[in-house]
Structure 1
Amino acid sequence: MLAIRVLLEGSIDYAGLFPPAGLDMAAAVRNYGAYRSGEAAWALGRFVLPMSRLAEFELAAGGLLPRAPTPDGWRLAVLAGSDPAGEIRTLGEFNCRHAAEGSAAVTADVVELKCDSVEDIDRAADALPSYLQAYIEVPLRDNLEDLVAAISRRGMRAKVRTGGVTPEAFPSSPQLLRFLRACIEAGVGFKATAGLHHPLRAVYRLTYADDAPTATMYGFLNLFLAAAFLRAGMDESDAAELLEEKFPQAFDVGPNHIGWRQHRLGHKELELARREAIVSFGSCSFTEPVADLELLGLLQPEEPLRGPDPRA
């Protein structure tokens, strides 16, 4: 497998329902179905939706889903709301319904929650059945290390918000680096979400509107490689520079390695980073991230992107 695939395989959780794309359910599930059968399907992760919209998803996606039993069922990442305990019951019923032979094959096996305190994390862990993988979104505050330690103790994963549709939504590089370090030191896998449509850090429009504000966004390639290199022992000052790297020429992507400046990682280090550190990132577009990789020449010719526009 090519090194870029090792780093990014199954990494893009499709969040087309959310801003700035903000698609309706029918368009989002239609896109996801097309991406699953396209030539860039290797990069596609789960379909992301709020718990409150599961019934709407069933109506919109029913005709697109394969029939159970099949290893090719859709996988969902579900965002919990204000009543996790009650919503988990609903989620269990959803999964049971779709596990029956001949039913539409889809599994909601990931749940994402926001927790501001160790007590919130413990309550969430107590309410969750063991078959669900939980991602806990934590604020980047003074108690970050305590929150990550609690997530580790309860066998869950962390989530960080890396942007949004306003400039104020983006954390500083030191804040993001602190999150990466805390997760790696605690052995906690994590995902990122928001503001990661593009591979490299640069100034971009924050929405698709012609008059949209702009801000410096983090690149998902910067983020994944910073996590991978930190896990492999990179000095924090170098990792901070990597998070802020804007020049494509600084990266070296070969069949068996990915490099940044004088640093290099092979397949084994990349595999371990994906398994033990950075798992995925949420994006309201699937075509943009992969098309940008192509434009930068970071994908091999046999890995083209095919599929409809994410806003169609």
Structure 2
Amino acid sequence: MASEETATQILLRGLVDDAGLFPPASLSILQAVERHRSDRIVAHPMLTHRLLCPERRWPELLARVNGGGPIDAAVVLDAERGFAADPPESGPGIRITHYEARALPEDLRMAADLFRSGDLDVGGRTVFFEFDALPEPSDLAGAPAFGRTSGWPAAVAMLGGARPLGVKIRCGGPRASMFPGVSDLADALLACAEHDVPFTAAGLQHAVRHTDPRTGFTHHGYLNVLLATAAALSADRGAVAAALACTDGARLAAGAAAVSSGDARRARDLFTRFGARSTGDPVRDAEGLGLLGSWEI
């Protein structure tokens, strides 16, 4: 009989999407498909075995697979089109699992209203919206960057009660402006927990918060975000911020082990997955911290 999963394993199972088609990895379609197939053979529990594909490369992916799947993929829609009326559909050998799209706050409200009324059919798939958060009333003339304003709660609230619509939280990227601070990220997680809005994350790679000596950018860790999401369930802002700011891997690992199985499941119902340019780094980090338990291979 298989042993029951630990809370840490519940937190980690099916967490990592393959974002190798995006910078800085920018794999070719051939490289991405071959890695995807290799990962499916290994079948590590941390991986979703889901390939994130930019909409502009979707025809290329269809041509490469050409019925030789199976491949699970998510389509990241072009920023200029947002969530169009006719997003790409599954093809021979490829199943679309979800969509990711950019949206203005007013578009977000309209999408949620259409979904609730039954006029927006997403075919049972989740749609994650990345958006510029609402400006403060005193700064309505401004154009705030994503995640850099306290407008997060109002923006996320628009999607309350509209599952499977969710949000995409950008935690990093090639520019400093793409890294939200601890306070901004805490706002986002607390808002998602309050309104029961699922989210995916972009810009995560390693388990623990750290500063890249090459760029000077401080990167959020996926283990930090997992524990912060668990803390957000009880609306404890101090605990959320502390989890996000922690740079001690051993302390974070101990914190993961202390999460109850129920809270681990609830946290993962909110923090559904993140896209990583390498499907190996997140697993190696978890193994190095002793998080995998019986999954170690």
Q: TM-score, normalised by structure 1?
A: 0.79
Looking at structure 2, the residues matched to 281 and 302 of structure 1 have their Cα atoms a distance apart, in angstroms, of: 20
Identity of aligned residues (%): 26
1:145 is matched with 153
2:76 is matched with 79
Looking at structure 1, the residues matched to 111 and 195 of structure 2 have their Cα atoms a distance apart, in angstroms, of: 20
Q: Give the 3-state SS of the residue equivalent to 2:283 in structure 1.
A: helix
Looking at structure 2, the residues matched to 292 and 152 of structure 1 have their Cα atoms a distance apart, in angstroms, of: 34
Q: Give the 3-state SS of the residue equivalent to 1:290 in structure 2.
A: helix
2:121 is matched with 129
1:190 is matched with 199
Runs of at least 4 residues of structure 1 off by over 6 A?
none
| Kept in 2: contact 1:35–1:44 (CA 8 A) | no
Give the drift of 1:40: 1.7
1:269 is matched with 263
1:70-99 superposed Cα distances (whole Å, 9 cap, x missing partner)? xxxx321111123356x55352xx32x43x
2:282 is matched with 289
- Higher RCO structure (Cα 8 Å, ≥6 apart): 1
Query: Alpha carbon RMSD of aligned pairs, Å?
Result: 2.3
Q: Give the 3-state SS of the residue equivalent to 2:296 in structure 1.
A: coil
Give the drift of 1:244: 0.9
Q: Give the 3-state SS of the residue equivalent to 1:292 in structure 2.
A: helix
Looking at structure 2, the residues matched to 287 and 184 of structure 1 have their Cα atoms a distance apart, in angstroms, of: 29
Q: Give the 3-state SS of the residue equivalent to 2:201 in structure 1.
A: strand
Give the AA of the match of 1:299. Answer: L
Structure 2 residue runs without a partner (length 5+): 133-146
Give the AA of the match of 1:40. Answer: H
Give the drift of 1:202: 0.9
> What pairs with 1:1-312 in structure 2 (closer than 5 Å)?
1-62=5-66, 64-66=68-70, 74-81=71-78, 82-84=80-82, 88-89=85-86, 91=88, 94-95=89-90, 97-98=91-92, 104=93, 106-123=94-111, 126=114, 128-131=120-123, 132-139=125-132, 140=147, 141-155=149-163, 156-194=165-203, 196-204=204-212, 212-231=214-233, 233=234, 235-253=236-254, 258-259=256-257, 264-275=258-269, 277-300=270-293, 302-304=295-297
Looking at structure 2, the residues matched to 90 and 116 of structure 1 have their Cα atoms a distance apart, in angstroms, of: 18
Structure 1 residue runs without a partner (length 5+): 67-73, 99-103, 206-211, 305-312
Q: Describe the shift of the 1:303–1:43 C-alpha distance in structure 2 as closer, same or farther (beyond 3 A).
A: farther
Query: Which one is further off, 182-191 or 288-297?
Result: 288-297
| Kept in 1: contact 2:156–2:167 (CA 8 A) | yes
Looking at structure 2, the residues matched to 122 and 269 of structure 1 have their Cα atoms a distance apart, in angstroms, of: 32
Q: Describe the shift of the 1:298–1:149 C-alpha distance in structure 2 as closer, same or farther (beyond 3 A).
A: same
Looking at structure 2, the residues matched to 153 and 16 of structure 1 have their Cα atoms a distance apart, in angstroms, of: 32
Q: Describe the shift of the 1:252–1:79 C-alpha distance in structure 2 as closer, same or farther (beyond 3 A).
A: closer
| Kept in 2: contact 1:197–1:219 (CA 8 A) | yes
Looking at structure 2, the residues matched to 268 and 215 of structure 1 have their Cα atoms a distance apart, in angstroms, of: 34
Give the drift of 1:112: 0.8
